[in-house]
Copies of this chain bind each other. A is one copy, B any other.
């Protein structure tokens, strides 16, 4: 890959939360079953730091055992030595690792009601802005990843509310598009303006509020993700922050994602998982999971620092052996 991003000092912020939208049966596979889905964001955060999860006994996985993309981010953080901070922006369960609280509520089910109260969005955005301002004094690049089950559905609703006709991506190859579109179409009926705060409150989620706030306070950011970061980038297009998006080739190749909707530069990181000796990793190249927890963005940053694709694959496999196969 020839493209790279330049920076002197970077920090990886993982912004995590939950919504009741994720409780709609069949809408997400970010967790082996309905009860485990709410543990996925804190477990992803724990995995990034400890290389294992404390809140659940194994690492987050789809019902058929495909591992969380946090695994790839873990490898990239380990190799680049970039520091990690975790931000609670609406969690149901707190992680067993220090976290920064933005005092965000859990998001409601947008099929049934607004995601959040306007005053809650405003508070989360204000807290995010303060955080962005303070962290911008320390680093010249804030890399922002997310983990929020059913996040592609709320992202699709935000894009539609902003006037786009979004495609809807998913961590499943047999993407439940009809179900997602039904939820999205129901939700956007309540949208009355394109004001970012109102759109987030009507059909978004608390992670969007947190990331939007951080962007409103910081100078330069790399949004590490796919559909969700495209939605956030469109909400944030008028902010005084220099941001771009970096995602995986698996998202870029997904016919259900339209990267052209991004109002900013989009970097695509190739991760040669199709060459892996492990089926759980090859599954990514076959359309499963594809992105999340900042995996694409942190891979891109690792490449920008000179790490080679094939070496990166070997290191991911090492971590897979140690974390998943034990």
Binding site for B on A (CB under 8 A): 9, 11, 49, 81-85, 88, 94, 96-103, 127-128, 130-131, 134-135, 137-139
| Given A49-B130, A82-B137, A94-B101; 15 other pairs, CB 8 A cutoff | A9-B138, A11-B138, A83-B135, A83-B137, A83-B138, A97-B127, A98-B100, A98-B101, A98-B103, A98-B127, A98-B128, A98-B131, A99-B101, A100-B100, A138-B139
Contact of A134 among B84, B96, B103, B131 (CB under 8 A): B84
Asked if A98 and B102 make an inter-chain contact with CB atoms under 8 angstroms apart, the answer reads yes
Asked if B98 and A130 make an inter-chain contact with CB atoms under 8 angstroms apart, the answer reads yes
Cα distance, A137 to B137, chains bound together (Å):
14
List the B side residues contacting A131 at CB < 8 Å.
Answer: 98
Whole-angstrom distance between the Cβ of A123 and the nearest chain B Cβ = 8
Cα distance, A84 to B94, chains bound together (Å):
23
- Some 29 contacts from A to B, beta carbons below 8 A apart, are A9-B138, A11-B138, A49-B130, A81-B137, A82-B137, A83-B134, A83-B135, A83-B137, A83-B138, A84-B134, A85-B134, A88-B101, A94-B101, A94-B103, A96-B103, A97-B127, A97-B130, A98-B100, A98-B101, A98-B102, A98-B103, A98-B127, A98-B128, A98-B131, A99-B101, A100-B100, A100-B101, A101-B101, A138-B138
Whole-angstrom distance between the Cβ of A80 and the nearest chain B Cβ = 10
